[in-house]
Structure 1
Amino acid sequence: KNISKRRSAVERVNAYLKEYFQLNNVRYRTGKRAKVHFDIVTLIYNASKLASDRIRLLLSQQQAA
């Protein structure tokens, strides 16, 4: 049960990246360029999630005060 929860969480992220960051349309001949593309996309995704989590935390702290 725990493994399926983790897997579904990962698959949701993969689907999001494929839909909004065009990961299913990578058009590079070499694996190196495709890996760089994937690394940049995951970096941007993680940075945006971190920023949104921090903003949400600040807003919830302001509302509590």
Structure 2
Amino acid sequence: MYKVNITQNLRRYNAPARGSKAWKTIYNRRTAVERAIGYLKEFFQLNNIRYRTGKRAKVHLDLVHLLYDGAKPACDRLTERLR
């Protein structure tokens, strides 16, 4: 076992170490976020936002997030009732 300063090569020597339980939980959380962002881009047309200012684009994104965050639990409750 070697002690290596992780600031040398962050891709090779990362914290937490690859394969550990902490790394797996972080990785699973990250992939879940990526799936949610992919869903939002596909079904809410977030790839096609075209505004002159970043403020309007941010407002659009915030409204889509509110809609998604409100609709997802409602859909989960409905599917739970149907089972």
Q: What's the TM-score bracket when you normalise by the shorter of the two chains?
A: 0.7 to 0.9
Query: CA offset at residue 56 of structure 1?
Result: 2.6
Query: What is the percent sequence identity of the aligned residues?
Result: 62
Query: Which whole-Å CA distance do the structure 2 matches of 1:52 and 1:20 have between them?
Result: 15
* Superimposed CA distance per residue, residues 7-53 of structure 1 (whole angstroms, 9 cap, x where no aligned partner): 00000000000011011111011111001100111111111101112
- Map of 1:7 onto structure 2: 30
TM-score (norm 1): 0.82
Query: Which whole-Å CA distance do the structure 1 matches of 2:70 and 2:39 have between them?
Result: 15
Which structure 2 residue ranges, 5 or more long, are not aligned? 1-23
Instruction: Tell me which stretches of 4 or more aligned residues in structure 1 moved more than 2 Å.
Output: 56-60
Corresponding letter in the other structure for 2:53: T
Q: How many residue pairs end up in the alignment? A: 60
- Map of 2:40 onto structure 1: 17
Corresponding letter in the other structure for 1:42: H
Matched, 1:47 2:70: yes
Corresponding letter in the other structure for 1:48: A
TM-score (norm 2): 0.66
- Map of 2:79 onto structure 1: 56
